[in-house]
Amino acid sequence: MAGLQSRSAFSLPFSLSSAFRNLSLTAPKRSFSTTLATQKIKTLPDYIPPYPYGPNYVYRQSNTGLYGGVTIQFGNKISQGRNEGKTRRMWKPNVRRKKIYSEALGEWLFIKVTRKALRTIRKSGGLDKYLLDDRPGRIKELGVFGWELRWKVMQTPKVQEEFKQERKRLGLPEPPSFEEWVAQKEAQLKAKAEDLTNIEEATKPTYNEKCY
C-alpha cells in the first residue's frame, strides 16, 4: 500500500493536451532569405560629369563592370527529337573577373569584364586607350562603371601631359580652370536671365494700349 502511494506521488498525470502543449506547428523563422536582393543602381559622385546615356535599368549588373554593351539574350531551344517543339531559354554574358593593368594609374585593376570587352581592350592596345576612345559607340558601351574609370584615367598627370602636347601641336588654347569655367557659366546664365527680362518688359502692354 505504501509502495502504491509513493508511485502515485511521483507519477505525473498523462494528458495529450499537456504532452503537446509546448509543441508548435508553425515553422521557426529563418535568419536568411533565399530571395535575391534587388540590384542597386550605381550612382556617380557629384564631382564626376553625368554619364550621357544614363545607367542600365534593364540589366543592372552591367553598371558594375566593363560589359561592352552585352546583355542577357532570350530565345528558343529547338528540340530535334520525336517531340519537336520550342522551349524558352536565355543566354547570359560570359563575365569574368580579370586583372588588367592601367599605365596611367600605374596599378592593376581587378574588374568584371566580358570576353567581348576583353578582346576589344586587347585590340585597342590596352585599357587606357580603350577608355579614352571618344567615339559615340565606345562611350555608349562603357557604361557607368567605364565612364567613372575613364574620368579617373583622364585626371592622371600622364594623360594630362599628353593632352597638353596634343593641344600645343594643334594650336588650341589651354582650357579654363574649374573656377573660371564656373564663373563663365554663371555669367552666361545671368546674361540670359537679363535678356528674358528685357524681352518681357518690351512686350508688356502700356497703359494707353490697355485702355483701347
d(CA 120, CA 131): 11
Q: Which stretches within 72-132 are classed as H helix?
A: 115-124, 127-132
CA–chain centroid gap for 209, Å, is 58
- For Cα atoms 40, 67, 63, give the angle at the middle one, nearest 5 degrees: 20
Q: Residue 27, class by beta-carbon neighbours within 10 Å (0-12 exposed, 13-18 middle, 19+ buried)?
A: exposed
Q: What is the pLDDT of residue 110?
A: 93
Per CATH, which fold does 43-170 belong to? Ribosomal Protein L24e; Chain: T; (2.30.170)
Rounded to the nearest 10 degrees, the angle between the axes of helix 157-170 and helix 136-154 is 120
Look up the pTM and report it: 0.64
CA-based nearest residue to 37, from 58, 65, 60: 60
Domain boundaries, the chain: 43-170
pLDDT per residue rounded down to tens, the chain (212 residues): 444 454 444 444 455 556 555 555 555 555 555 555 666 777 888 888 889 898 888 888 889 999 998 888 889 888 877 767 788 889 989 999 999 999 999 999 999 999 999 999 999 999 999 999 989 999 999 999 999 999 999 999 988 888 888 888 888 888 777 678 778 888 888 888 888 888 777 776 665 555 55
